[in-house]
Amino acid sequence: MRVVLLAGGLGTRMREETEYKPKPMVEVGGRPVLWHLMKLFANYGLKDFIICTCYRGDVIKDYFLNYEARTIDFTAFLGRESRVEVHGAHGDDWRVTVANTGANTQTGGRVNRVGHYLSGRFIVTYGDGLADVDINQLLSFHESHGRLATVTTVRPLSRFGVMVG
């Protein structure tokens, strides 16, 4: 099952952190929020990700294009014998598709724009929101109700409002 991560917004409420990087790339404990979210899904066996980008999407592309160099030890041989020797493996057996879904595209439009990467069931979530959700329990709940979609929410105290279900 693929996991679609929405990571294309402007992050205007965190402007001091998001002027040069998208909100999902804000670091917590030395790693981007996006990475923490992907680790959560990977712990449930979901390791096939599609990241919908736009604003500062190049930061996300660069992060994953250079992921191994960021997470494992290596030796770089410079000069005439230019090569890189990798020491060990990083352990994240992920498949990551990064797709630019457009500057003014809303949530549904972003999912639609990556539709050609999808088949069958999939999960969609925001790339900057971490919550303590048991993914297996969520999928069981969804299957037992026979619906097209299941929405989960978190009820944080916020001056920006909350979703009422």
Global pTM reads 0.83
Cβ–Cβ < 8 Å for 101, 114: yes
What are the structural domains, with CATH classification, of the chain?
2-133 (3.90.550.10)
State which H helix or E strand residue 135 sits in.
helix 135-145
Confidence of residue 149 (pLDDT cuts 50, 70, 90): confident
Q: What share of the chain is helix, strand, coil (3-state, %, to 5)?
A: 35, 20, 45
pLDDT at 165: 67
Cβ–Cβ < 8 Å for 123, 4: yes
| Bridge partners, residue 83, by sequence | 77
* Rounded alpha-carbon distances, angstroms, from residue 46 to 18, 42, 94: 28, 5, 9
Render pLDDT for 81-115 as a digit per residue (tens, 0 to 9). Answer: 888 888 877 678 899 999 999 988 888 999 999 99
